[in-house]
Amino acid sequence: MKKVITGNHAVSYGAQLARTQVISAYPITPQTQVVELLSEFCASGKLKAKFIKVESEHSAMTACIAASLTGVRTFTATSAHGLALMHEMLHWAAGARTPVVMANINRAMGPGWSVWTDQNDSLSQRDTGWIQLYCESNQEVLDTTIQAFKIAEKLLLPVMVILDAFVLSHTSEQVDLPEQSVVDQFLPRFELKTKLDLSHPSAYGGLTNPDHYFEIRYKIQKAHEQALAVIKSVNDEFNELFGRKYGVIEAYRCDDAKVILVTSGTITSTARVVIDTMREQGRKVGLLKQKLFRPTPTEQLREVLFKAQKIAVIDRNISFGHSGVFAQEIKSSLYGLAGAPPVFDYIIGLGGRDVTPDAIYEIIDNTFKTDVPNEPIIWRGVRL
């Protein structure tokens, strides 16, 4: 059934169709509508889940981890400062190998106090062991939420589904809501072999001496290395049942492209329009959408980007003292390849400043005109 809904409600419907069994969350703008609708679903019986109210995001994640260890499907959602407050427990969720699924609405970190979008909140959690998937439309948000549970449960790793504040969270557009029976076929009941069980008491998270800790870390990394194949197979299976696929990256009009633009989140969607315009003008430009941030899809990135003469990366984030985070990933992926194209890193749209087609056009045009980047990062739209 097609319905006009916000990105936030696309998350809620995804968690409901996945038959989430435990939800624990704390409201924060711009995430609030996600958990409002889920709490209504729980109250009306549309979703048979336990909704655990808590006093903070730290407790929300703690509740999700404990619930997940009992072998139930578990979900939460947050944003910015809420995500930051969870930081300790994000490590715990991955370290304890709990397949918790969380939606994070990308919101800039304060101060200055902001409710608008950028990616620094989620990218700051890069090293916690979570899989991160970025979305560009409300349909992709819904589909990724459903896929996230399957990915998480196959790998026993937590998965973060990420969408831009307001540009998706509060924007309504049509979304095809799949039939429950087909989602059930795609996503069978979650089973956990070893779980917390009152009749067979056990302890989790105890002191781990140097004889064992190292191997736990090794196994988390191995799970991330398997994730690329798992995400691909989950996506293929989803496509067979629902007729929609996303991939870990998507190459759009890249085959003969001299310049390839790399984007994530909703900037991708606007950039598609710009790429089409420039192609009509005879400019050989392509677009690479990076949907999967962690684990890094190194081989897939190399395969597409290596053919280009120049790469322009749009970063709606900044790793202070270094550069945009996606540009670091792209450079790292290309390292060691003889003749690898130069990478231009453009910082734009922090704190929700609008990113227009004109701004994207200018970024691509500048990349065509410049042989190699004159500066390590190129700021766009700064008013001093």
Partner 1 sequence: MTEIRFHGRGGQGAVIASEILASALFAEGKFVQTFPEFGVERRGAPVQAFLRFDTKPILLRCKVYTPDHIIVLDPVLTKTVNITQGLKPGGWILLNSTQVPNSNQFSKFRLAIIDATGIAIKYRLGAKTAPIVNTAILGAFTKISGLAHLDHIIDGIKEYVPVKLQENIQATKDAYEMVRQI
Residues that bind partner 1 (CB under 8 A): 2, 4, 29, 115-116, 136, 165-168, 170-174, 266-267, 269-270, 272-273, 352, 354-357
Minimum CB separation from partner 1 for residue 358, in Å? Answer: 9
Q: How far apart are CA 16 and CA 42, in angstroms?
A: 9
Q: State which residue, 261 or 343, has the beta carbon closest to partner 1.
A: 261
Segment (H or E) for 140: helix 138-155
DSSP string over 83-120:
HHHTHHHHHHHHHTT---EEEEEE-PPSSSP--S--SH
Minimum CB separation from partner 1 for residue 268, in Å? Answer: 9
Largest CA-CA distance found in the chain, in angstroms, rounded: 70
Q: How far apart are CA 170 and CA 6, in angstroms?
A: 5
Minimum CB separation from partner 1 for residue 6, in Å? Answer: 9
Radius of gyration of the chain (CA): 21
Q: State which residue, 29 or 226, has the beta carbon closest to partner 1.
A: 29
Q: How far apart are CA 242 and CA 30, in angstroms?
A: 29
Q: State which residue, 8 or 128, has the beta carbon closest to partner 1.
A: 8
Nearest to 130 by CA among 104, 164, 165: 104
Centre a 10 Å sphere on the Cβ of residue 311 and count the other Cβ atoms it contains: 26
Minimum CB separation from partner 1 for residue 309, in Å? Answer: 26
Q: State which residue, 136 or 143, has the beta carbon closest to partner 1.
A: 136
Amino acid identity, residue 234?
A: V
Minimum CB separation from partner 1 for residue 200, in Å? Answer: 49
Q: State which residue, 343 or 359, has the beta carbon closest to partner 1.
A: 359
Cβ burial of 384 (10 Å; 0-12, 13-18, 19+) is exposed
Minimum CB separation from partner 1 for residue 315, in Å? Answer: 17
Phi, psi of 380 (to 5 degrees): -120, 125
Q: State which residue, 216 or 273, has the beta carbon closest to partner 1.
A: 273
Q: How far apart are CA 80 and CA 351, in angstroms?
A: 11
Minimum CB separation from partner 1 for residue 154, in Å? Answer: 31
Q: State which residue, 173 or 303, has the beta carbon closest to partner 1.
A: 173
Q: State which residue, 184 or 354, has the beta carbon closest to partner 1.
A: 354
Q: How far apart are CA 144 and CA 292, in angstroms?
A: 11
Q: How far is CA 262 from CA 251, 274, 365, 376, in A?
A: 9, 13, 14, 16
Give the CA dihedral 345, 305, 266, 99, nearest 10 degrees: -110
Contact 291, 325 (CB under 8 A): no
Minimum CB separation from partner 1 for residue 245, in Å? Answer: 16
DSSP tag of 344: E
Q: State which residue, 62 or 290, has the beta carbon closest to partner 1.
A: 290
Minimum CB separation from partner 1 for residue 217, in Å? Answer: 39
